[in-house]
Structure 1
Amino acid sequence: MVPYSEFNGDVTVVGGDEVFSVEIGYNAVMYGYGIKSNRLVSYAASFGPSTTEDIKQKELTEDIQKGLAQFNAISVRDRNSQNVVRDLSDKKVPLVIDPVLLYGYPEEQQ
């Protein structure tokens, strides 16, 4: 596996459950800090239970605003995350389905 510091790709996709959460701990990499990539996008990302107020209380507003501004495209999986992105950026983000639900589980249903 290539360390983040050595990666230099065309597209980096950030996504998944609670990748933007500040409740479980702030991770700057999830906001694109230190990522060398031509495009940065998210798919079905989530702030989990973290709200804009939680981000303010933890004094992370500026870091998260700058991080969100680095994304070429953002999609989220829930209304709370959509609201947080709206509050902290000028981006309008669509709600998309959790990728786990896209799989369908055909073998497991037999």
Structure 2
Amino acid sequence: MKADSLLLAIEIGWWVVALGLPILLLAAIRLPRKWRWRVPAVVLVSWSALVLYTSEVYFPTGVAHATQLGIDNPYQGFDNNNFVPVLVLGWLLPLTACTIAAFGRLALQKHRGGKE
């Protein structure tokens, strides 16, 4: 696999972890039963996965790609200045995915004519 396509796959994987993992966890995990308790747990797990994915997969791959291209400072764009926003605001994308899933669930319940 070429370095450009590998980096593209890693970037797509970042979005899958940020937005797809929370929806998958909401569908797969049934405890706790109430969404007001399940959503914070899913957001916490998804945020942790996003931070780990960013630090252990995305950044090292980006540095290796920049090194292969011969860029003078391969860490530019893959240092602590770019990690802090993921660490501080990384919960926002999983929460957005959970909010969209909640509205979809609400619309589906209303369409079916009541609560499940």
Same fold by TM-score greater than 0.5: no
More RCO (CA 8 Å, sep 6+) = 2
Q: Which has the larger radius of gyration?
A: 2
TM-score where L is the length of structure 2: 0.27
